[in-house]
Amino acid sequence: MDIEKSLFLKYVVDYDKLVTYGFIKEKDKKTYCYFKNILEDTFQIKVEVVEGLVIGKVYDLELEDEYINFRVENNIGEFAGKIRDEFEKVLIDIRNNCFNKEFFIGTQTNRISDVLIKKYGDIPSFEWDSYKDFGVFKNKITKKWYALIMNIDKEKLGEGSGNVEIINVKINPSKIEALLKKDGFYPAYHMNKKYWISIILDESIKDEEILSLIEESYEYASGGANKSQTEWIVPANPKYYDIEEAFEKSNIIDWKQGAGIGVGDTVYIYIGQPVSSIVFKCRVVENNIPFDYHDGNVNMKYIMKIELQEKYDKNLYTFHKLNEYGVNAVRSARFMPKKLSDYINKRK
């Protein structure tokens, strides 16, 4: 791997910072150049950034010729080593001041990763010292995996050689056979091939198709893929919002998006003190709607729309009753215990 590729792996350029740093934009508007003299002005380093790619050269100013000996890794003398050190220092300083770190290598991989971070709020975790490029996405509540991104040799997919990034997702087993007939889909690498599949991240498959399969995998991780819907208990603080008044005006209202809550899920609204009881049963009709709101008490980046299904007497499902069925606190969205769900729904 060449010096530039090694130093700028997983970094993306910020063009505004290049100009501030001292790069000059060339007439073609695609190339940015930077020059720095070293070793008492006897050598000059030229760094070009062309469409995000970094290209560095060193020139001997006395001989007016390019100097390349410093790139010979296994046959490098003291002077060439000194040039290499200076060259790397310049590149590292440019990287630290003009580039932003990314989680993965490939452009498509980082696009997909950015969507998952924004949609679910899940940051990839890198859990293996021996496989530093392997990033896991987990459901916040269940801690179950729904995506694993890996950098592997294509030989492991039976596709020639060279490194490539792939993503493993869990989907309905009935879909796997058909997907494996399509280019870019492979039997799950290092995971259960009955439920998981590997997808290549080299721009050959559209983001939309990959994200659709990730969404299905996320539902499995949240516990909702094996049943018609997932049930949740969600708190409402009457100090900040009068949900009772809101439902008097409309049977569909906006509500803060809870991690893992999907369309079709059932949401039981628990109103906090002084009510301290489940009062509403709702169904999620739309989710993950961008909504930037901050007021000092409530912060929201995404909301969902919930539709009223039932309203309960405030004395029926009090915190004392919930406690009998294993609910000790309702501080954020949490799964509805099956026993409690059965108890509520049998009372109809």
| Per-residue model confidence as pLDDT tens digits over 74-96 | 767 899 999 999 999 999 999 99
Q: Does the pLDDT value for residue 20 go beyond 50?
A: yes
Q: How confident is the model at residue 1 (pLDDT cuts 50, 70, 90)?
A: low
Please report which residue ranges of 121-206 form alpha helices under DSSP H. Answer: 173-179
The residue-averaged pLDDT of 131-159 equals 91
pLDDT for 229 equals 53
Question: What integer best gives the mean pLDDT of the chain?
Answer: 91
Does the domain formed by 107-222 have CATH 3.90.1150.30? Answer: yes
Average pLDDT over residues 292-304: 83
Contacts of 244 (CB under 8 A, 6+ apart): 271, 279
Ramachandran class of 158: left when φ > 0, alpha when ψ lies in -120 to 50, beta otherwise: left
pLDDT at 223: 63
Q: Say what the pLDDT of residue 258 is.
A: 82
What's the pLDDT band for 58 if we cut at 50, 70, 90? very high
Indicate where the chain has its CATH 3.90.1150.30 domain(s): 107-222
pLDDT band at 238 (very low <50, low <70, confident <90, very high): very high
On whether the CB atoms of residues 176 and 167 are closer than 8 A, the answer is: no
Q: What tokens does 263 get?
A: 């369309």
E strands of 24-82, at which residues?
Answer: 24-25, 31-38, 43-50, 53-60, 65-66
Q: Which of 148, 143, 223, 226 is nearest to 192 (CA)?
A: 148
Tokens read off for 187: 């039997």
pLDDT band at 142 (very low <50, low <70, confident <90, very high): confident
Q: Is the pLDDT of residue 241 over 60?
A: yes
Mean pLDDT of 319-334: 89
**Cα separation values, 289 from 123, 185, 302, Å:** 19, 30, 5
Helix (H, G, I), strand (E, B), or coil: what is residue 317?
strand
Categorize the per-residue pLDDT at 136 as very low, low, confident or very high, splitting at 50, 70 and 90.
very high
Q: How confident is the model at residue 315 (pLDDT cuts 50, 70, 90)?
A: very high
- Structure-block tokens of residue 311: 């309203």
Examine the pLDDT at 29 and tell me if it is beyond 80: no
Give yes or no for a contact between 33 and 23, defined as CB atoms under 8 angstroms apart: yes
In tens, the pLDDT along 175-234 reads 899 999 999 999 999 899 999 999 999 999 999 999 999 988 988 887 644 444 578 999
> What's the confidence (pLDDT) of residue 204?
95
Q: Which CATH superfamily groups domain 231-346?
A: ph1033 like domains (3.10.590.10)
| CATH 3.10.590.10 location in the chain | 231-346
Residues in the chain: 348
Name the percent of the chain lying above pLDDT 70.
97
Mean pLDDT of 238-262: 91
Cα–Cα distance for residue pair 161/152, rounded to 1 Å: 10
pTM score, whole prediction: 0.55
pLDDT of residue 348: 57
Q: What secondary structure does DSSP assign to 166-220, as a single string?
A: EEEEE--HHHHHHHTTSTTEEEPTTS-TTTEEEEE-SSSS-HHHHHHHHHHHHHH
Where helices occur in 51-146 by DSSP H, the ranges are 78-98, 107-120
CA atoms of 27 and 30, how far apart (whole Å): 8
Cα 59 to Cα 42: distance, rounded to the nearest angstrom: 9
Mean of the pLDDT values across residues 50-61?
Answer: 95
